[in-house]
Amino acid sequence: MNIDSVDFFYLSIPQVQNIGDGSQDCLLVRIRAGQYTGWGECEASPLVSIANLVCPMSHSACRSPLDAVLSHSIESPADIHAINHRVREIGLDIAQTGHTLSGIDIALWDLLGHRQGRPIYDLLGYSKSHPKRPYASQLFGDNPQQTLEKGRSMRQAGFTAVKFGWGPFGRDLKSDRDHLAAAREGVGPDLELLIDAGTVWVDDVSLAAQRIEQLEAINAGWLEEPFVGTAVHAYGKLAARNSTVPLAGGEGASHPDLARQLIDFGGIKVVQIDTGRIGGITPAKTIADYARAKSIRYVNHTFTTHLALAASIAPYAGMSEFDLCEYPVEASELATHLTINRLSRDQNGLVHLPDTPGLGLTPDPAIIKKFLKNVEIRVDGKTIYSTPTI
Amino acid sequence: MNIDSVDFFYLSIPQVQNIGDGSQDCLLVRIRAGQYTGWGECEASPLVSIANLVCPMSHSACRSPLDAVLSHSIESPADIHAINHRVREIGLDIAQTGHTLSGIDIALWDLLGHRQGRPIYDLLGYSKSHPKRPYASQLFGDNPQQTLEKGRSMRQAGFTAVKFGWGPFGRDLKSDRDHLAAAREGVGPDLELLIDAGTVWVDDVSLAAQRIEQLEAINAGWLEEPFVGTAVHAYGKLAARNSTVPLAGGEGASHPDLARQLIDFGGIKVVQIDTGRIGGITPAKTIADYARAKSIRYVNHTFTTHLALAASIAPYAGMSEFDLCEYPVEASELATHLTINRLSRDQNGLVHLPDTPGLGLTPDPAIIKKFLKNVEIRVDGKTIYSTPTI
């Protein structure tokens, strides 16, 4: 059976706001082979990845992923690995390749799961999918009182771990201390409290180091992304201070090598992978295996839909030692309702992947149509992309 | 004076071939402020960077570079540094950002040079521009005899250093040995002979190691890109073998941190920067300074136009210890004729940057028009990009 079509759909809420909420738009991917359909999702700018999908060849290492996908056979995981390898090869000189590949790779696993009647964790070689303990992932409040209330409401909602990130954090020492104290007060003394600096210090180790004492004082479970994901040297220097607060990072990786470098040379103790950026489930699984071998913690990065959430849990679903998962609690209407079924928490507050084939989640055509953007790209009078029919 | 406009032009030869020749298309950038104009060029897929220029905001760290450029003041190098910083900040989550920024940054330096009546090397703080010794950069022949003839013709053309890369190299040990011997025979025993593996071994250290003896036997000046640019661990392992043939790499870096990691952890002794990918002249200068501090060699990567060539030499123009420059000798008609003036070799075979303001090179409107692709991008019925008037 060969791959017949790859379709990209750009969805967006009507008014995207200039805040750190990545759930405001979405690039949905549909792949068809014979009577089977797989769905995936790319994180990051939809229009840029659409252009990457249809871009004319520049030279032999600067080509669309499509050239490696269409007509390729899809019979086994080995086919997906081969496609992954080939997309990287012909897309070497296009920086966007990893992001564009992500949704394609996820959709291929979903499709293969449907074809074989098996969930993706099974295709990946796991005998079972272990439930994950979700941490509530949200932005800091605009002021400490809001942060406190947000923390309290997540405790009341039954979460055992809560993360605050982005927003006002990282710009003023006193304000940061107040927000951190409010966060701890809000979630209570016993919950796991995680802090996400949202790359605010770029690569400035001293600015990050000034906050370590504050973070230790509230017993933070980790400090996430003090720096941009490429600043491996800065991570390494901060890690060398041996704080009791471990460093977390990796969500920005658009290639598994970039996540690996944060482990090898950046001293992170928690690697966070977004399957919608790193190139999909295939490279995410590579990093999960690597994290296990290096005895560091693996956790998903997801701030968008439950389709993306399921895809991001699959790579480490069978690894019981990695018990935590990021769980978006502030997603937009688009992200919240994209799929007909969702990964709800059970009576113990845990998240289970479906045992049904593929990702086990189905996008809702009505929601897709509601948020769909109509895109057309023409080169020399020829339409090379127009939004496909749903 | 504020920046009025940023225009992208997609140029391409009519029939792009599936070979490793990066000069077949080109993304030209024009920036205007008041009566001044600056030109730049982005390497890699033009359509993808055009989409990045006009993409709607996804969230606060997923925005077009344009939002950081338009209306910004352009009075001094500090303005360009500020724009660079801001583009990275708001474009953090778009993988293409570095490529798109590259042409913008180059055009800003060109514009500032025109405004101040100074060449870019002067704006960068260099008291003078040292001439560079060009190495002839070309693809391996389809067979060893072609490789030999190509080497001979470059010797006859007066080059003192010649590089062969891509093509059939790296796939078969015996064929590689024959090509390498032919290359050495062609250029003669005394010329500097450089070998570019074109990432053919991806991250497989053993495949690369099998060629080290062959490379030592022909006294290769360097082995370039045995692996993809992200495979820092593989570079590090190969470097640890301490061959007399130094490793070169870095052209794929779309962020200065990625080049730095190849130096810090990959053991490269020659760092090769493409200003059209790394984010422009600003980060390229950062890496030139870093290479000097680390006592390794800096050289440009350029396989396209003389506009790109001038931009790629500027960052290390004033560093006399870095005497070599890559010089395309097989570029397409588009790349060869894009600019009215060119960086020709003088009677000693050396390449000089112009002492005129900015890059010192002027694109030819007739050539732009001849190769211009007409692109249109529409979202929900609104045209957000159409090829600007030249």
Backbone angles phi, psi at B232, to 5 degrees: -60, -40
B127 and chain A: CB distance < 8 Å anywhere? no
Rounded distance between C-alpha atoms, residue A304 and residue A41, angstroms: 10
For residue A328, what pLDDT band results from cuts at 50, 70 and 90? Answer: confident
SS (H, E, C) chain A: CECCEEEEEEEECCCCCCCCCCCCEEEEEEEEECCEEEEEEECCCHHHHHHHHHCCCCECCECCCHHHHCCCECCCHHHHHHHHHHHHHHCCCCCCHHHHHHHHHHHHHHHHHHHHCCEHHHHCCCCCCCCEEEEEEEECCCCHHHHHHHHHHHHHCCCCEEEEECCCCCCCHHHHHHHHHHHHHHHCCCCEEEEECCCCCCCCHHHHHHHHHHHHHCCCCCEECCCCCCCHHHHHHHHCCCCCCCEEECCCCCCHHHHHHHHHCCCCCEEEECCCCCCCHHHHHHHHHHHHHCCCEEEECCCCCHHHHHHHHHHHCCCCCCCEEEEECCCCHHHHHCECCCCCECCCCCECCCCCCECCCCECHHHHHHHECCEEEEECCEEEEECCCC
Q: Which of B367, B353, B279, B365 lies closest to B42, judged by CA? A: B279
Q: Do A44 and B89 touch (CB under 8 A)?
A: no
Backbone angles phi, psi at A351, to 5 degrees: -110, 130
B146 and chain A: CB distance < 8 Å anywhere? no
Cα A247–B83–B67 angle (5° rounding)?
Answer: 95
Using an 8 Å Cβ cutoff, are A68 and B17 in contact?
A: no
Q: Do A58 and B99 touch (CB under 8 A)?
A: no
A92 and chain B: CB distance < 8 Å anywhere? yes
B280 three-state secondary structure: coil
Do the domain assignments include residue B357? no
Structural domain including B184 reads 133-337
Whether B38 and B170 map to the same domain: the answer is no
For residue A372, what pLDDT band results from cuts at 50, 70 and 90? Answer: very high
Do the domain assignments include residue B325? yes
Whether A190 and A74 map to the same domain: the answer is no
Which parts of B157-273 fold into alpha helices (H)?
A: 173-187, 205-217, 232-239, 256-264
Is it the case that residue A129 has pLDDT exceeding 90? yes
**Pairing between β-strand A297-300 and β-strand A324-328 as defined by DSSP bridges:** unpaired
Whether A197 and A330 map to the same domain: the answer is yes
Tokens of B222: 């360097």
Contacts of A27 (CB under 8 A, 6+ apart): A8, A9, A10, A11, A41, A42, A43, A44, A46, A49, A50, A103
Whether B108 and B141 map to the same domain: the answer is no
B228 and chain A: CB distance < 8 Å anywhere? yes
Residue A262, amino acid: L
Do the domain assignments include residue A123? no
A264 and chain B: CB distance < 8 Å anywhere? yes
B84 and chain A: CB distance < 8 Å anywhere? no
Is it the case that residue A224 has pLDDT exceeding 90? yes
Phi-psi group of B159: left, alpha or beta (phi > 0 → left; psi -120 to 50 → alpha; rest → beta): beta
CA–CA distances in Å: residue B84 to residues B68, B72, B281: 8, 11, 10
Using an 8 Å Cβ cutoff, are A310 and A343 in contact?
A: yes
Residue A227, amino acid: F
Do the domain assignments include residue A301? yes
ipTM over 0.90: yes
Determine the pLDDT at residue B374. 98
CA distance A162 to chain B (A): 22
Do the domain assignments include residue B343? no
Rounded distance between C-alpha atoms, residue B52 and residue B62, angstroms: 10
CB-CB neighbors (< 8 A) of B84 in chain A: none
Determine the pLDDT at residue A345. 94
B83 three-state secondary structure: helix
Average pLDDT over residues A221-242: 97
Do the domain assignments include residue A344? no
Whether A184 and A237 map to the same domain: the answer is yes
Looking up residue A143, the CATH number of its domain turns out to be 3.20.20.120
Tokens of B245: 């043939």
Whether A284 and A244 map to the same domain: the answer is yes
Strands in B259-307 per DSSP E: 270-273, 297-300
CA distance B83 to chain A (A): 15
Determine the pLDDT at residue A127. 96
B115 three-state secondary structure: helix
Average pLDDT over residues A25-30: 98
CB-CB neighbors (< 8 A) of B18 in chain A: 57, 59-60, 63
Q: Which of A150, A176, A179 lies closest to A162, judged by CA? A: A150
CA distance A355 to chain B (A): 32
CB-CB neighbors (< 8 A) of B67 in chain A: none
Q: Which of B120, B35, B27, B1 lies closest to B363, judged by CA? A: B27
Determine the pLDDT at residue B72. 96
Q: Do A47 and B24 touch (CB under 8 A)?
A: no
Determine the pLDDT at residue B22. 92
Whether B263 and B208 map to the same domain: the answer is yes
CA distance A335 to chain B (A): 13
Average pLDDT over residues A345-361: 96
Q: Do A59 and B20 touch (CB under 8 A)?
A: yes
Determine the pLDDT at residue B328. 87
Whether A41 and A169 map to the same domain: the answer is no
Burial B296-314 (b: 16+ CB within 10 A, else e): bbbbbbbbbbbbbbbbbbb
Is it the case that residue A365 has pLDDT exceeding 90? yes
Q: Which of A308, A243, A315, A353 lies closest to A107, judged by CA? A: A308
Q: How many domains does chain B have?
A: 2
Looking up residue A65, the CATH number of its domain turns out to be 3.30.390.10
Q: Do A54 and B44 touch (CB under 8 A)?
A: no
Between positions 160 and 199 of A, the ones with CB within 8 A of B are 166, 198-199
Using an 8 Å Cβ cutoff, are A274 and A44 in contact?
A: no
Digit-by-digit pLDDT tens for chain B (390 residues) are 999 999 999 999 999 999 989 999 999 999 999 999 999 999 989 999 999 999 999 999 999 999 999 999 999 999 999 999 999 999 999 999 999 999 999 999 999 999 999 999 999 999 999 999 999 999 999 999 999 999 999 999 999 999 999 889 999 999 999 999 999 999 999 999 999 999 999 999 999 999 999 999 999 999 999 999 999 999 999 999 999 999 999 999 999 999 999 999 999 999 999 999 999 999 999 999 999 999 999 999 998 999 999 999 999 999 999 999 999 888 899 999 999 999 999 999 999 999 999 999 999 999 999 999 999 999 999 999 999 999
B359 three-state secondary structure: coil
Rounded distance between C-alpha atoms, residue A63 and residue A52, angstroms: 8
Using an 8 Å Cβ cutoff, are A247 and A269 in contact?
A: yes
Kindly report the length of chain B. Answer: 390
Q: Do A59 and B24 touch (CB under 8 A)?
A: yes
Give me the residue from A10, A20, A52 closest to B59, CB to CB: A20
Q: Which of A17, A314, A252, A245 lies closest to B255, judged by CA? A: A252
Average pLDDT over residues A60-77: 97
Tokens of A368: 């897709």
Q: What is the pTM of this model?
A: 0.97
Contacts of A18 (CB under 8 A, 6+ apart): B57, B59, B60, B63
Rounded distance between C-alpha atoms, residue B273 and residue B263, angstroms: 12
pLDDT digits 0-9 by tens, A118-127 = 999 999 999 9
Whether A307 and A201 map to the same domain: the answer is yes
Q: How far is CA B51 from the centre of its chain?
A: 21
Do the domain assignments include residue B322? yes
Whether B283 and B199 map to the same domain: the answer is yes
Is it the case that residue A117 has pLDDT exceeding 90? yes
Residue A267, amino acid: G
Nearest residue of B to residue A376, measured between CA atoms? B378
Do the domain assignments include residue A350? no
Rounded distance between C-alpha atoms, residue B359 and residue A168, angstroms: 41
SS (H, E, C) A15-71: CCCCCCCCCCEEEEEEEEECCEEEEEEECCCHHHHHHHHHCCCCECCECCCHHHHCC
Residue A284, amino acid: A
Rounded distance between C-alpha atoms, residue B56 and residue A249, angstroms: 27
Rounded distance between C-alpha atoms, residue A324 and residue A224, angstroms: 15
Give me the residue from A50, A52, A232 closest to B257, CB to CB: A232
Domain end position, chosen among A321, A337, A353: A337
Kindly report the length of chain A. Answer: 390
Whether A200 and A309 map to the same domain: the answer is yes
Contacts of B382 (CB under 8 A, 6+ apart): none
CA distance A232 to chain B (A): 8
Determine the pLDDT at residue B276. 98
Between positions 293 and 332 of A, the ones with CB within 8 A of B are none
Q: Do A261 and B257 touch (CB under 8 A)?
A: no
Whether A243 and A310 map to the same domain: the answer is yes
Determine the pLDDT at residue A189. 97
- The interaxial angle of helices B256-264 and B281-293, nearest 10 deg, is 20
Between positions 13 and 52 of A, the ones with CB within 8 A of B are 16-22, 24-25, 43-48, 50-52
Rounded distance between C-alpha atoms, residue A45 and residue B320, angstroms: 42
